[in-house]
Structure 1
Amino acid sequence: MLEKLHPDVVDAYEKALKARENSYSPYSHFKVGAAVKFKGFEQVFYGCNVENASYGATICAERNAIWSGVAAIGKQDMEYLIVVADQEEPVPPCALCLQVISEFYDAEMPIYLGNLKGIQKVYLLKEILPVPFNNFVA
């Protein structure tokens, strides 16, 4: 586990870990939990992956958490995101989730990756998504 994490990050990790237990993953058997904190808001929003026989209808834990926050408080900038899975080497968000994250991000936003033992790694969003698909003139 990473040393000297802010207590709010540890609390959010615990929420992601608990959400992971609620995962509906009968096809992959790969449970994932996530928690997101938006800037300026104390509440942490969390989610788990929910699969469907029509794989396109499946939702990842990260998007579930983000969209729960959007439903509650509207579009806001994210302060940080936590992803938890039962893997020795923690897993980053998938490409679909990274694209969603890019709508709410700051390039310096930390993404904490954890497993059942705790948070193991932290990356800045710009490290795992250096060229987001959102730099367009509308």
Structure 2
Amino acid sequence: MNAALIKLREAAKEAAVHAYVPYSRFPVGAAIELTEEGQYLQGCNVENSAYSMAICAERNALVQSVAKGVPPGTLKTMGIYMPGEALYSPCGACRQMILELMAEDAVIYAFCDSAEFKQWTKFELLPDGFAL
């Protein structure tokens, strides 16, 4: 793993510390790289007893990018951290938002507590997806 990916992983892991997960007990963090100098937008999952009202870390970070005025389609790199030794891909709702808001050449990385990681393009996550 190169230095840039290590920084991305650490930013996503840092975000997971703030997760509100009383039901799943599975804190996930996401970080979207804004600059190569290490400026990130971070998001964490926030659960609710009305499960459909919960928000994933990936969507949390993407929503913050819109709220901060980052133009949709310009975000190139997202890192997602999940605890444990297994790597998971984003859920369907997150895949749709990634497709719509990330750059055409965006890369999404999944990290866990091991040195392993996975990466996808937004089109690999949601092939034949729909967008404006």
Q: Same fold (TM over 0.5)?
A: yes
How many angstroms apart in 2 are the aligned matches of 1:74 and 1:117? 32
Q: Which residue does 1:22 correspond to in 2?
A: 18
Q: Which residue does 2:30 correspond to in 1?
A: 34
Q: Which residue does 2:87 correspond to in 1?
A: 90
1:106 alignment partner, SS class:
strand
Q: 2:42 aligns with which of 34, 40, 46?
A: 46
How many angstroms apart in 2 are the aligned matches of 1:112 and 1:12? 9
Q: Which residue does 1:128 correspond to in 2?
A: 125
Q: Is the 8 A contact 2:7 2:38 kept in 1?
A: no
- Return the offset for 1:41: 9.2
Task: String of CA shifts for 1:89-128, please: whole Å, max 9, x gaps.
Answer: 2111110001111111334321111002345111222212
Task: String of CA shifts for 1:20-52, please: whole Å, max 9, x gaps.
Answer: 111101011111100112479963101110001
Q: Which residue does 1:103 correspond to in 2?
A: 100
Deviating more after overlay: 104-113 vs 50-59: 104-113
TM-score, normalization: structure 1?
A: 0.83
2:84 alignment partner, SS class:
coil
Q: Which residue does 1:61 correspond to in 2?
A: 57
Task: String of CA shifts for 1:62-86, please: whole Å, max 9, x gaps.
Answer: 0111111221123332111111111
Amino acid at match of 1:87: G
> What's the % identity of the aligned pairs?
33
- Return the offset for 1:8: 3.5
Deviating more after overlay: 59-68 vs 40-49: 40-49
Deviating more after overlay: 98-107 vs 116-125: 116-125
How many angstroms apart in 1 are the aligned matches of 2:110 and 2:56? 15
How many angstroms apart in 2 are the aligned matches of 1:50 and 1:97? 14
Residue 29 and residue 42 in structure 1: after superposition, are their counterparts in 2 closer, same or farther (change >3 A)? closer
Q: Structure 2 regions of 5+ residues with no counterpart?
A: none
1:87 alignment partner, SS class:
coil
